[in-house]
Copies of this chain bind each other. A is one copy, B any other.
Amino acid sequence: MGAVDLTTHPGHLARRLQQAHYLLWNTMVSEEITSPQFAVLNALVAEPGLDQRTVGERVGLDRSTIAEVISRLGRRGLLDKVRDPQDGRRFLLRLTDEGLRTHKKLTVRTARMNQVFLAPLATDEQVLFFDLIRRVADAAEGLRNPSEPLVAPS
């Protein structure tokens, strides 16, 4: 009888929440462009000409994953990738016109989807929802960083 109640496990809830979101996204936003892909488009609308690594940092994806996402967006013609003449290690990323159009279109649909997704919560509860999740996620990310040392680095 050592079984545990998973509904009190935050990891399990997080997974279910993301699955639920995935389904809703697929039906209400797009079957072609995924939520992480939209995040990349959005980052490049905010800051055109970023390199891959920085985009990954902005949207929270590691180098391997961001490489795949970007390659898919490139294949769809939503984004251009050019070597930085100043620094031959990096690629500069920039949305195409098609990419801009897609971002605009999905922005509208995403807003609608978020409303439906959050409909079960009252307005003040939605604020709490964001705040609580953000605090937990931020703290856990902080645990993994080289972490601001409490004393000066040796």
Contacts and interface: CB of A to CB of B under 8 A. Distances in A.
Interface stretch (A10-18, A70-78, A86-94, A146-154): A10-18
A8 interface: yes
The prevalent SS among residues of A at the interface is: helix
Interface residues of A, number: 62
Contacts of A11: 18, 21-22, 25, 35, 114, 117
Given A20-B141, A23-B140, A140-B117, A39 B134 contact: no
B132 A3 contact: no
B140 A20 contact: yes
Nearest to A36: B15
Interface of A: 1-4, 6-25, 27, 35-36, 39, 42-43, 45-46, 59-60, 100, 103-104, 107, 110, 114, 116-121, 125, 128-130, 132-141, 143-144
28 contacts: A2-B45, A2-B104, A6-B39, A7-B134, A8-B130, A9-B110, A10-B21, A11-B35, A11-B117, A12-B35, A13-B133, A14-B17, A15-B18, A15-B35, A15-B60, A16-B141, A17-B136, A18-B18, A20-B137, A23-B143, A116-B143, A117-B136, A117-B140, A118-B136, A120-B135, A120-B138, A121-B136, A125-B132
